[in-house]
Amino acid sequence: FEREVRLTATLSHPNTVDIFDYGRAEDGTYYYVMEYLPGLNLAELVERHGPLPPARAVYLLRQVCGALREAHAAGLIHRDIKPSNIFAARRGGVEDVAKLLDFGLVRPAATARVAHLSGEGEILGTPLFMSPEQATGAQELDERSDIYSLGAVAYYLLTGRPPFEGEGGVAVLIAHARDPVMPPSRVRPDLPEDLERVVLRCLAKAPAERFPNAESLERALGACACAGDWNQDRAARWWRDTDRATAARATVS
């Protein structure tokens, strides 16, 4: 644990959560102290407000690519990218600041060979957003495993559902490894074609068919026609309207 948190603490990208302290309590429990993040994680955002406008999804995902670019350059693989580990934060008057957090499963790339089940049958990582190679433990993981997981997050942000679902974690792992993914436009017909192509390339079964790194994915997202349609003005307006609606509901109740 200490080694993993220490590695995370070396990261300084503005879209990576800041770690201030870590240690072990008297009862043996490990802890770390991170920055306070007002806002919502992306799982909460979709659960409460539904799938995101494509431009907003692109706006947030590009920021996460920046955080991954630094981590990958340092030789670190996150291994547990999922909506609840990405925050849409409100920082100093700036809205929709993406923050990648919970590097609890981070590993140097050279040691990131991961069996999908531990000796006790515990699934490591989150099956709904896990890459095929992480699900099967068939090969060492590299940055393209995180690219797949971020693609699965993108699918969720745009459709409100993960790319694969099933009865239990093992069924989902098998689906990631074997089953073709349903194009997100089948769930959301108005999804821009260029953005769908980016998401589906992230979700390719073979790592060699995905974007090779976070930088190339960020460029592809930025090239989507909708990329400039979400900005700070729109983000500020959305949060302001949401605050008003929340206050109104609280007054009525």
Residues designated catalytic: 80
Q: Is 22 helix (H, G, I), strand (E, B) or coil?
A: strand
Name the DSSP class of 19.
E
CB atoms inside a 10 Å sphere around CB 162: 19
d(C-alpha 153, C-alpha 114), whole Å:
20
d(C-alpha 42, C-alpha 59), whole Å:
13
CB atoms inside a 10 Å sphere around CB 48: 10
Q: Is 51 helix (H, G, I), strand (E, B) or coil?
A: coil
3-state helix, strand, coil in the chain (%, to 5): 50, 15, 35
Specify the amino acid at residue 202. Answer: C
Specify the amino acid at residue 179. Answer: D
d(C-alpha 10, C-alpha 60), whole Å:
23
Residues with Cβ within 8 Å of 225's Cβ and at least 6 positions away in sequence, in order, are 192, 194
Q: Name the E strands within the chain.
A: 19-24, 30-34, 39-41, 76-77, 86-91, 94-100, 107-108
Side-chain half-sphere of 52: how many Cα atoms within 13 Å? 29
